[in-house]
Amino acid sequence: MQTIWFMLVAVMIAVYVVLDGFDLGAGIVHLLVARTDRERRQVLRSIGPVWDGNEVWLLAGGGTLYFAFPALYASSFSGFYLPLMMVLWLLILRGISIEFRNHIDSLVWKPFWDVVFGGASALLAIFFGAALGNVVRGVPLDDANEFFLPLWTNFGIGREVGILDWYTVLVAVAAFATLLVHGALWVALKTDGELERRARKAAQAGWWALLPLTAAITWCSFAIQPRLGASFGARPWGYVFPLLAVAGLIGMRALDRREPRAVLVLVAVHRGDADQRGVRAVSLCAAVEHRPAARADGLQRGCRAVRIEGGAGVVHSGNAAGYGLLRVYLSELCGEGGAGG
């Protein structure tokens, strides 16, 4: 029974990371790749119908955690009180920046909300990464299974840990890079022309940063959390998840060159024993998606025309929410283009 509940919570958090990951990522690359007002609207419209639906997965995950593991919920929500409140503030700022942006047509108003949107998205990626780092590293529980972490102490992993130490900061940077690539690929998938080209370049640059970061957090995770290795040793099938993550990293790169319209959505969840009560932690979720760059040879040019129609079809299907997203997304990926929505 606990196993089923654990799997439910794990799946919800993983789906949240994948789905909200791309719109957080779109926020991160928003200021980098979209220069004109029209391009920025394109980015916002690509996530417009789905971002709030995606965030419901976080609520669902939190709610399920509360029902199924109340002791864990009580202990972690008071222990991580300060960062959780900050995450709430960032989510509020991000939401209103999307909603308020287009209400006043002014040279101050719009760029201001664009910066709030980009900044809040980037900080959220970093906060979620740091949270993941904390869960993997573990927290010092007292006799009553309670704890409270200050934001930081001395950035070392000793007896007095803070939310931010060198390990959680490293995971935060890796999460930022992951979501940057994730979001850039989403923007490239949903747009065309100059914007698509810049998004794809950002994704490629991010990929090179992601590679050493992934290697580094993998090594550091096993080094600072010995139970991780023990857990994998006891349940070797668990290696499927990190292998999927590696396959995603390679696949994203390999398919960028060859097969048009090939898509890879990979979710890797690896788990380690995180606290004494045996509640296991969900961790790394990497999602990778791909869409080929438009190239100027004859064959590809034919594909491109279809794709632009398809892209427009998706952008117009503005009322697809939540589950609808996956359908639109998948039909787009399977080559049906504008049929989705």
Partner 1 sequence: MLSAPFPYIANTAGWITAEAGRQPWLIYGLMRTHEGVSPHVSAGNALFTLIGFMGMYVVLAILFLLLVYREIDHGPEAA
What residue ranges bind partner 1 (CB under 8 A)? Answer: 74, 78-79, 81-82, 85, 89, 92, 96, 100, 103-104, 144, 146-148
| In the complex, minimum distance from the CB of residue 316 to partner 1, in angstroms, rounded to a whole number | 24
| In the complex, minimum distance from the CB of residue 161 to partner 1, in angstroms, rounded to a whole number | 14
Closer of 96 and 265 to partner 1 (Cβ):
96
Closer of 73 and 222 to partner 1 (Cβ):
73
203, 217 contact by CB (below 8 A): no
| In the complex, minimum distance from the CB of residue 148 to partner 1, in angstroms, rounded to a whole number | 3
Which of 323, 57, 35, 299 minimizes the C-alpha distance to 187?
35
| In the complex, minimum distance from the CB of residue 71 to partner 1, in angstroms, rounded to a whole number | 13
**If 0-12 CB within 10 Å is exposed, 13-18 middle and 19+ buried, where does residue 227 land?**
middle
Closer of 85 and 334 to partner 1 (Cβ):
85
In Å, how far from its chain's centre is CA 329? Answer: 17
Closer of 147 and 222 to partner 1 (Cβ):
147
| In the complex, minimum distance from the CB of residue 189 to partner 1, in angstroms, rounded to a whole number | 33
Give 140-202 as a DSSP string: ---TTS-----SBSSSS-SSS--SB-HHHHHHHHHHHHHHHHHHHHHHHHH--HHHHHHHHHH
| In the complex, minimum distance from the CB of residue 30 to partner 1, in angstroms, rounded to a whole number | 20
| In the complex, minimum distance from the CB of residue 88 to partner 1, in angstroms, rounded to a whole number | 8
| In the complex, minimum distance from the CB of residue 75 to partner 1, in angstroms, rounded to a whole number | 9
Alpha-carbon distance of 225 to 202, in angstroms, equals: 33
| In the complex, minimum distance from the CB of residue 120 to partner 1, in angstroms, rounded to a whole number | 12
Closer of 103 and 235 to partner 1 (Cβ):
103
Helix axes 166-190, 2-33, angle to 10 degrees: 70
Strand partners, 164: 152
In Å, how far from its chain's centre is CA 55? Answer: 11
Closer of 151 and 223 to partner 1 (Cβ):
151
Alpha-carbon distance of 190 to 149, in angstroms, equals: 41
Closer of 85 and 306 to partner 1 (Cβ):
85
Alpha-carbon distance of 142 to 134, in angstroms, equals: 16
**If 0-12 CB within 10 Å is exposed, 13-18 middle and 19+ buried, where does residue 332 land?**
buried
Question: What ranges in the chain are assigned the alpha helix state H?
Answer: 2-33, 37-47, 51-68, 70-79, 81-100, 109-137, 166-190, 193-224, 226-234, 240-257, 298-316, 323-333
Q: What DSSP character marks residue 103?
A: G
Closer of 76 and 121 to partner 1 (Cβ):
76
Closer of 79 and 313 to partner 1 (Cβ):
79
Looking from the CA of 186 toward its CB, the CA atoms found within 13 Å total 34
